[in-house]
């Protein structure tokens, strides 16, 4: 039996007999679906052969909506000729089958839903190292939070669509965005702006620091907070949130015998730049205070922000002490 040739039953009348027929089809396909799951797992394991990959591709295509190409979940709809599509796209095609243009009606493809229910497939990030295998209907929830899923580019100056692991993104930031790269856990960041009243187009800078074997992104920008222009600096950790909690950082800005200090935990780059900025999780400097720190006639912004990063370490009695890099 070739699963790629399976057609869903057309069951417009949902009587007891029709439901039994659908159950029989689902049971007949159950064993074959389990074999396909094993083949799919083999394709993602080390040394998986081409045959396993082909079988995995077949079952994936069977459960792929022809309109949006996403995986289909109940209710899965079909036309009278057996062509399927997801419930979201059914409303978008004005009740016409996108394959044969026949009227869709309200026919559920119970056979295909049962095929999906019987499957256990590996995470789609198995090639990136995720070893987990999930029932088909649980897999998508895991993938949304999988720690092996690629990271989005943390560059905030444009809507960059590049994704990848951390080493790839570090090289991408350096080579494609020309971001400044520094080693060490202390920094001294100078920001100069000739017209501090212009913040409509948020001015910003990004610097990447390498310390403790990890990478951190320092953001500095100007934006409008309500009616007042403000300047903000914050740090993001290039890794997952649970790893970010192992580190702390401080930022300091000041002049003329005054200073402002911020201490916090870096946010993971899993949180977008805009999400961190809009949560105000960083050092925020009102424009008047920024101009006071700049000195002179206050017509030009000259801010110097210093800071450091440290790793929290626990003593045997459970107390946390900072581990400063040399």
What is the SS3 assignment for 159-215?
Answer: CCCCEECHHHHHHHHHHCCCCEEEECCEEEEEEEECCCCCCCCCCEEEEEEEECCEE
Residue 51 in any domain: the answer is no
CB 234, CB 276: distance < 8 Å: yes
In a domain, 53, yes or no: no
Same structural domain, 128 and 105: no
Residue 126 neighbours by CB distance under 10 Å: 20
66 and 132, same domain (yes or no): no
Q: Is residue 48's pLDDT more than 70?
A: no
From 118, 137, 170, give the residue that closes a domain.
118
Q: Is 32 part of a structural domain of the chain?
A: no
Q: Are residues 173 and 296 in the same domain?
A: yes
Residues 168 and 294 in one domain: yes
* Residue 219 and residue 137 in one domain: no
| Model confidence pTM above 0.75 | no
Are 288 and 160 members of one domain?
yes
Indicate whether 36 belongs to any domain. no
Average pLDDT over residues 52-67: 67
DSSP 92: H
> 12 lies in a domain?
no
Per the structure, the complete domain to which residue 129 belongs is given by 120-149
- How far apart are alpha carbons 297 and 288 in whole angstroms? 12
pLDDT in tens, 156-197: 866 789 999 999 999 999 999 999 999 999 988 888 777 666
CATH number of the domain that residue 106 is part of: 3.30.40.10
Give the pLDDT mean for 123-133: 88
Q: What is the pLDDT of residue 18?
A: 39
> Are 233 and 276 members of one domain?
yes
For strands 107-108 and 247-255, give the pairing: unpaired
For residue range 295-321, what is the model confidence (pLDDT) as tens digits?
767 677 788 889 999 998 765 555 555
Q: Do residues 165 and 283 both lie within one domain?
A: yes
Q: Is 227 in the same domain as 302?
A: yes
CATH number of the domain enclosing 170: 2.60.210.10
* Mean pLDDT, rounded, for 253-260: 86
Does 129 lie in the same domain as 205?
Answer: no
**Cβ atoms < 10 Å from Cβ of 138:** 12
> Do 225 and 78 belong together in one domain?
no
Answer positive or negative: Cα dihedral of 49, 50, 55, 57: positive
**Within this chain, do residues 179 and 110 fall inside the same structural domain, yes or no?**
no
- The C-alpha atoms of residue 316 and residue 112 are separated, in whole angstroms, by 56
Greatest mean pLDDT among 60-69, 76-85, 293-302: 76-85
């Amino acid at each position: 039996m070739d699963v790629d040739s399976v057609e869903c039953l057309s069951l417009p009348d949902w009587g007891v007999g029709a439901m039994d027929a659908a159950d029989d089809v689902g049971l007949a396909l159950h064993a074959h679906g389990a074999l396909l799951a094993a083949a799919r797992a083999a394709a993602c394991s080390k040394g998986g052969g081409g045959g396993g990959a082909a079988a995995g591709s077949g079952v994936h295509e069977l459960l792929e909506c022809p309109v949006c190409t996403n995986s289909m979940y109940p209710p899965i709809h079909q036309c009278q000729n057996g062509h399927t599509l997801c419930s979201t796209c059914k409303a978008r095609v004005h009740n016409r089958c996108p394959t044969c243009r026949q009227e869709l009606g309200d026919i559920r493809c119970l056979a295909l839903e049962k095929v999906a229910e019987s499957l256990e497939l590996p995470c789609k990030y198995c090639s990136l190292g995720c070893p987990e295998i999930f029932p088909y209907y649980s897999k998508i929830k895991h993938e949304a939070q999988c720690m092996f899923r690629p990271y989005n580019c943390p560059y905030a100056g444009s809507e960059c669509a590049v994704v990848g692991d951390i080493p790839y993104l570090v090289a991408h930031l350096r080579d494609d965005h020309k971001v400044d790269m520094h080693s060490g856990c202390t920094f001294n960041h100078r920001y100069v702006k000739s017209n501090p009243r212009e913040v409509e187009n948020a001015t910003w800078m990004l610097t990447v620091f390498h310390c403790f074997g990890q990478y951190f992104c320092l953001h500095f920008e100007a934006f409008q907070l309500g009616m007042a222009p403000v300047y903000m600096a914050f740090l993001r950790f290039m890794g997952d949130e649970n790893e970010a909690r192992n580190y702390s950082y401080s930022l300091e800005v000041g002049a003329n015998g005054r200073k402002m200090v911020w201490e916090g935990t870096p946010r993971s780059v899993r949180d977008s730049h805009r999400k961190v900025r809009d949560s105000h999780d960083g050092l925020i400097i009102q424009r008047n205070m920024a101009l006071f720190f700049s000195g002179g006639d206050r017509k030009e912004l000259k801010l110097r922000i210093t800071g450091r990063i440290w790793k929290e370490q626990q003593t045997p009695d459970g107390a946390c002490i900072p581990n400063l890099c040399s």
